[in-house]
Chain A
Amino acid sequence: MSAVATLPADAAADACRIAPERDWSAYTVAEPDGRRRLELAVENITCAACMGDIERGLRRVDGVGAARVNVASRRVAVVYKPGRIAPDAILDRMAAIGYPAHPFDPAAARGTRSEESKRLLKCLAVAGFGGMNVMLMSVSVWSGNVTDITPETRDFFHWVSALVAIPTVAYAAQPFFRSAIAAVRRRAVNMDVPISIGVTLAMALSLVNTMTHAREAFFDSALMLLFFLLLGRFLDENMRRRTAVEAETLAALRADSAVVMRADGGLIETPVSRIRPGDRVLVRPGERVAVDGVVRDGASEIDASLVTGETTPAAVGRGDTVHAGTLNGFGALVVEVTAVAEGTLIAEIERLIAEAQSMKAGAMRLADRAARTYAPVVHSAAALTFLGWMLVGAHWNEALVIAIAVLIITCPCALALAIPAVQVVAAGRLFRNGILLNAGDAIERLAAADTIVFDKTGTLTEPEPRLLGAADVDPALLARAGRLALGSRHPLARALARAAGAAEPLPGIRERAGEGVAAVVDGIDVRLGALGFCGVEPAAVAAMRAAHPTASLIAYREGRAAPVLFALGQSLKADAVATVARLKREGYRIEILSGDREAAVAEAARALDVADWRAERDPAAKIARLDALKAEGRRVLMVGDGLNDAPSLAAAHVSLSPVTAAHVAQSASDAVFLGDRLAPVAIALDVARAARRLMMENLWIAVVYNAVAVPIAILGYVTPLIAALAMSGSSLIVTVNALRLRRVAPPPTARPASAAIVGETGAVSAPVSA
């Protein structure tokens, strides 16, 4: 028999009074010297002063060995001695100096992106070093060839070039070789195959030429090619890594943890990844439920708006099932975690997401599509050039030189940079408007959207309830009710306190589990909470329900005076009407697809002037609607936040979700936007369309460059100097063209705090050593 069952009837409520410990071993990593390292996601880091404040503030604490702030990812790494200081004290200290922090769950953090980006940067540095040095030799040889270089000096320079170029290629070309070999094994051709062949052939021929004392070698072409290709790949990877890091920080700030009841009755706060089926989890009033499970003790009401879209709270008691992501009301609950297996909501959602994603797998990135058509053309052009020159009677060496020149000059420098360069600038633009990309090709898919499907709850409306009809309420009364409401963690009470602008709670507030809060002010009993708790007449309730059919009601009573009813409900986001109107003007077809009841959705649709709306749709029905739209040939942008939206977010052509969304919804969508406004949806579409236009322009530039350069190469007029100049020139044009995107969508003057420090993504310094 567990300890919980032996506790008195309202054990759940009693347990809430004990502050839970945190299971720190799950959050920290041991250092080799016995100290422990803790990573925290920090709120409010906006500038350099914050960095100094935090580091100085923490270093003065006894037992803290080192503290280092990472401004780019808004994290701080703290190394501490476990015997000397408790991690809780570090969190308290952070809160005291004004930077509330949350620990990372190492099981949820992924560090692989950073490794990949580092590997590419190393290759880029090596290629840069090799390229610069060999170019120095080559320039000397070229200028010497037209003046007075002796054959001995030329050979010496060629040998030194070979000495530098061979190890450089062996190291820096690995990403291409590996990918090309993998593609060939799959019997496919990707962009890396011509690159690998071109580089290998150029190196081999240059070596032969060096040994036979020829006038020309092409080490420099091979290395410059590698350098530019690596640069494009690094930019691409860097953009994705930044998003991944930012998403991790956001996830930690939302603190996915739960309070587990141990067998001895103690409470311990544990990351969700450590919770096992059969554990008992305490859900305090006003908290989000972190797990799927069955209620074993306590009674409350549950707001499932983030899970189903349904906004009316439902009563739950012993034996009822609750789902992760729902919001608990007035009462405390003890929830037994059910086995994560078929039948739980999350398993069903995940199955639908997996199905939706496998349906979508056919879609290909613009760069890959370009590469697929491009690679065979390059190969055959080079092969035909070789055969052609052999037929007209050229020496095999000469024919091979020209064929390699074709392979190199057609090669995808501009093509490799064309898309990543635009992506990086676009991602920077989006970052600074508070939009984070999850998928590299999201920009291209966003640009193709012509229909926008909105979820209602939490997407078009505020995620938290608001006081409705605030103008009809006596402000003095509201202010008093607000001060009382500060004593409760219930979401409705908190919304009321916010609406009243209350800052200081009334003294001596007592909370009655499941009912509300009460206090005695100047001998008068004031109470706030459930309708029965305040003794509200059914007639008054009926009148209020008629006025606000979709709202939740909360009552307030002072002494013997008649109780007052407050209606709290979903209100539209501040700029929802303007944004939807703007999108309609721009020619998008708008539709609302919600899990909420018909009356609530109809009201929102009327306010937004949207004719197409559907209510009470479960995840499968939402996907069915998206499929119907797809069958009409529409490309749908889905905007949603709930767990029930996650499968449709994955199924839609492209998807966006607000940062307040359920975790699963965020990872299923292509981009996440910060802040409580809807404008980012319009901005994302603007930037994406402009970016797509620039990508196409860049691809055309690459095509035109090839149309000019390839015939010259085929005719055998390309000297190494011309090849190098053409290559660098086309890369430069493409990059400069990408920068034109900076004119689109300037960041808002009042930036969302979290986006303000993300910084300039466009300016990635290329490491070059020579």
Chain B
Amino acid sequence: MNILVYLVPIALSLGLLGLAAFLWSLKTGQFEDLDGAAWRAIQDDDLPGRE
């Protein structure tokens, strides 16, 4: 059961990492326009030969 001493903190810090990532993306306004973000992902204007 000593393994728990390592695993529990690891699990917690992974969760914290996710939480921090979420709060960061919230702060940088990435949830402001969910509809637009969905469309941006499938836009292909970064391919060569367009414009």
> What residues make up the interface of A, taking CB atoms closer than 8 Å to B?
47-48, 51-52, 56, 69-73, 118, 121-122, 125-126, 129, 132-133, 136, 150, 153, 156, 160, 164, 757, 759, 767, 769-770
Contact A125 B4, beta carbon cutoff 8 Å: no
23 A/B residue pairs, CB under 8 Å, sorted by A: A48-B43, A51-B36, A56-B45, A56-B51, A69-B33, A70-B32, A70-B33, A71-B33, A71-B36, A71-B39, A72-B34, A126-B19, A129-B15, A129-B19, A132-B15, A133-B12, A136-B11, A153-B1, A153-B4, A160-B8, A767-B22, A769-B15, A770-B15
With A759-B35, A767-B22 in contact, do A150 and B1 touch (Cβ < 8 Å)?
yes
A73 — which chain B residues lie within 8 A by C-beta?
A: 33
Question: Within the complex, what minimum Cβ distance (angstroms) separates A3 from chain B?
Answer: 45
Q: From residue A712, how far is it (CB to closest CB) to chain B in Å? A: 33
Residues of B close to A129: CB separation below 8 A: 15-16, 18-19
Contact A769 B34 (CB under 8 A): no
Q: Are A69 and B8 in contact (CB under 8 A)?
A: no
| Closest chain A residue, CB of each to CB of B41 | A48
Query: A51-B40, A125-B23, A767-B22 given as contacts; is B35 within 8 A of A757 (CB)?
Result: yes
Please indicate the chain A residues that have their CB under 8 angstroms from the CB of B45 in the complex.
52, 56
- Are B4 and A47 touching (Cβ within 8 A)? no
Q: Which residues of B contact A71 (CB under 8 A)?
A: 33, 35-36, 39
Interface residues in B11-51 by Cβ distance below 8 A to A read: 11-12, 15-16, 18-19, 21-23, 26, 31-36, 39-40, 42-43, 45, 51
CA distance A122 to B40 in the complex (A): 25
B48 to chain A minimum Cβ distance, whole angstroms, is 15
Contact partners of A125 in chain B: CB under 8 A: 19, 22-23, 26
Report A12 CB to chain B, min CB distance, Å: 44
Q: How far is the CA of A51 from the CA of B35 in the complex (A)?
A: 11
Closest 9 CB pairs of A and B: A48-B39, A769-B18, A71-B36, A70-B33, A129-B19, A71-B35, A72-B35, A769-B19, A72-B33
Question: Which residue in chain B gives the minimum CB-CB distance to A136?
Answer: B11
Q: Is the CB of A122 within 8 A of B35?
A: no
Least Cβ–Cβ distance between A337 and chain B, in angstroms: 37
Alpha-carbon distance A72/B40, docked complex (angstroms): 13
The chain B residue sitting closest to A60, CB to CB, is: B51
The residue among A47, A136, A153, A769 with the most chain B CB atoms within 10 A of its own CB is A769
Give Cα A125 to B22, complex, Å.
Answer: 8
Chain B residues closer than 8 Å to A56, beta-carbon distance? 45, 51
**Contacts between chains A and B (CB distance < 8 A), count:** 66
Complex Cα gap A51–B23 (Å): 26
Contact A121:B43 (CB < 8 A) given known A129-B19, A132-B15:
no
A132–B1 CA distance with the chains assembled, in angstroms: 22
> Which B residues are CB-close (under 8 A) to A757?
35
| Residues of chain B with a CB closer than 8 A to A133's CB | 11-12, 15
* Complexed CA–CA distance, A56 and B46 (Å): 11
Besides A71-B36, A133-B15, 6 new A-B residue pairs in contact (Cβ under 8 A), listed by A number: A48-B39, A122-B23, A132-B15, A133-B11, A757-B35, A769-B15
Say yes or no: A72-B36 contact (C-beta < 8 A), given A56-B45, A153-B4. yes
C-alpha gap A122/B19 in the complex (Å) = 9
A48–B42 CB distance below 8 A: yes
**Size range of the chain B interface in the assembly:** 20 to 34
Nearest Cβ on chain A to B23's Cβ, whole angstroms: 6
Which A residues touch B33, using CB under 8 A? 69-73
A47 vs B22: C-alpha distance when bound (angstroms) = 27
- For chain A, what secondary structure do more than half of its interface residues adopt (helix, strand, loop), or is it mixed? helix
Q: Determine which of A70, A118, A770 lies in contact with B26 in the assembled complex, contact meaning CB atoms within 8 Å.
A: A118
For B22, what are the chain A residues with a Cβ–Cβ distance below 8 Å?
Answer: 125, 767, 769
Complex Cα–Cα for A213 and B19 (A): 31
**Min CB distance, A153 to chain B, in Å?**
6
A64 vs B1: C-alpha distance when bound (angstroms): 61
CA distance A71 to B40 in the complex (A): 10
The smallest C-beta distance from A516 to any residue of chain B, in angstroms, reads: 47
Shortest CB–CB separation between residue A108 and chain B, in angstroms?
20
Given contacts A125-B23, A133-B12, A160-B8, contact A52 B18 (CB under 8 A): no
Q: Which of A51, A121, A770 contacts B31 (CB 8 A)?
A: A121
**Which of chain B's residues have a CB closer than 8 A to the CB of A47?**
39
In the assembled complex, how far is the CB of residue A158 from the closest CB belonging to chain B, in whole angstroms? 12
In the complex, chain A residues whose CB is within 8 Å of the CB of B1? 150, 153
Provide the residues of chain A in CB contact with B31, threshold 8 Å. Answer: 121
Q: Tell me the bound Cα distance from A56 to B51 in angstroms.
A: 8
- The residue in chain B whose Cβ has the minimal distance to the Cβ of A121 is B26
Q: How far is the CA of A164 from the CA of B12 in the complex (A)?
A: 9
Beyond A56-B45, A121-B26, A153-B1, whether A69 also contacts B36 by CB under 8 A is yes
Instruction: Tell me, rounded to whole Å, the shortest Cβ–Cβ distance linking B45 to chain A.
Output: 6
Considering the chains assembled together, what is the distance between the CA atoms of A770 and B10 in angstroms? Answer: 12
Q: State which of B8, B16, B36, B42 has its C-beta within 8 Å of the C-beta of A70.
A: B36
| Shortest Cβ distance from A152 into B: residue | B1
Q: Which residues of A contact B51 (CB under 8 A)?
A: 56
User: Who on chain A is nearest to B33 by CB?
Assistant: A70
Give bound CA distance, A160 to B10, whole Å: 12
Closest B residue to A69 using CB positions? B36
List residues of chain A with CB within 8 A of the CB of B43. 48, 51-52
Taking the closest CB of chain A, its distance from the CB of B28, in whole angstroms, is 12
CB distance from A409 to the nearest CB of B (A): 27
Residues of B within 8 A of A150 (CB): 1
Q: What's the minimum C-beta distance from B5 to chain A, rounded to whole angstroms? A: 8
Task: Give the complex CA separation of A474 and B32 in angstroms.
Answer: 54
Q: How far is the CA of A36 from the CA of B8 in the complex (A)?
A: 49
- Bound state CA distance, A125 and B16, in angstroms? 11
Q: Which residue of A lies closest to B12 (CB)?
A: A133
| B42 surroundings in chain A (CB, below 8 A) | 48
Cα–Cα distance between A675 and B12 once the two chains are bound (Å): 52
Interchain nearest-CB distance for B10 vs A (Å): 12
The docked-state distance in angstroms from the alpha carbon of A156 to that of B39 is 47
Chain A residues, CB < 8 A from B36: 48, 51, 69-72
B13 → chain A, closest Cβ, in Å? 11
- B-chain residues with CB within 8 Å of residue A72 when the two chains form the complex: 32-36
In the complex, what distance in Å separates the CA atom of A269 from the CA atom of B28?
A: 34
For A51, the chain B residues whose CB sits under 8 A away are: 36, 39-40, 43
Which of B16, B18, B19 has the most chain A CB within a 10 Å cutoff?
B19
CB B49 to nearest CB in A, in angstroms, measures: 15
Alpha-carbon separation in the docked complex, A122 to B45 (Å): 34
B32 → A minimal CB distance (Å): 6
- Chain B residues near A52: list those with CB within 8 A: 43, 45
A121 to B4, CA, bound (A): 32
Q: Which residues of A contact B16 (CB under 8 A)?
A: 129
Instruction: Report the Cα distance A118→B21, complex, angstroms.
Output: 15
Residues of B within 8 A of A160 (CB): 8, 12
Task: Return chain B residues, CB-CB under 8 Å to A122.
Answer: 23, 26
B residues near A132, Cβ cutoff 8 Å: 15
Chain A positions within 8 Å of B8 at CB level: 160
CA distance A126 to B23 in the complex (A): 9
The smallest C-beta distance from A46 to any residue of chain B, in angstroms, reads: 11
Say whether, besides A56-B45, A70-B32, A156 and B4 are in contact (CB < 8 Å). yes
Please indicate the chain B residues that have their CB under 8 angstroms from the CB of A69 in the complex. 33, 36
Question: A767 vs B12: C-alpha distance in the bound complex, in angstroms?
Answer: 17
Provide the residues of chain B in CB contact with A48, threshold 8 Å.
36, 39-40, 42-43
Find chain A residues with CB under 8 A from B15 CB: 129, 132-133, 769-770
